[in-house]
Amino acid sequence: MRLSASALAALALNHVASGLDASLLDELREGGIDARLAGYTEWHRPASVGVAYLTVGWDWYLDRATSTFVIAYGDVRSNIMAVDATGADLGMFRTAAALATRLTDLDWAAAVAASVLGRNDAYHAGPTLQ
């Protein structure tokens, strides 16, 4: 689905699922990242009349030193392609970067913490993100 920068900036997403991923945690630690937990999360915008279904997902980790949730490798996966003012595709890397920027306004860390830790708040896991 192609979205303009303004549509991407206003994109509303709902949390679908989050979970822990031990192999990602091992991979991050082998790469020198001191993660306490790691996992995945999936979000979507449900389809409705005239509105396409959008899905966004990313891997995350909980940084041990700062107790913040971080998007692993800065990579966000989706079925979205950002376009410029002329409608030209911006490419997958620029789209992922634009999505990551959008996610800074979304309290995804609290939703992930509640899902994987079984809590209604993210206090004990560190509710901020980078």
**pTM of full prediction above 0.75:** yes
In a domain? residue 14: yes
**Domain range for 37:** 2-125
Encode pLDDT of 84-115 as tens digits.
Answer: 999 999 999 999 999 999 998 888 999 999 99
Section 44-60 average pLDDT? 93
Give the tokens for residue 46.
Answer: 């449900």
In a domain? residue 130: no
Q: Strand runs (DSSP E) across 79-128, as ranges? A: 81-83
Taking Cα atoms as reference points, which of 39, 29, 27, 24 lies closest to residue 69?
39
Q: Which residue is listed with tokens 């999936």?
A: 42
C-beta of residue 30 within 8 angstroms of C-beta of residue 110: no
Residue 56 belongs to domain with CATH number: 3.10.450.610
Number of domains observed in the structure of the chain = 1
In a domain? residue 82: yes
In a domain? residue 74: yes
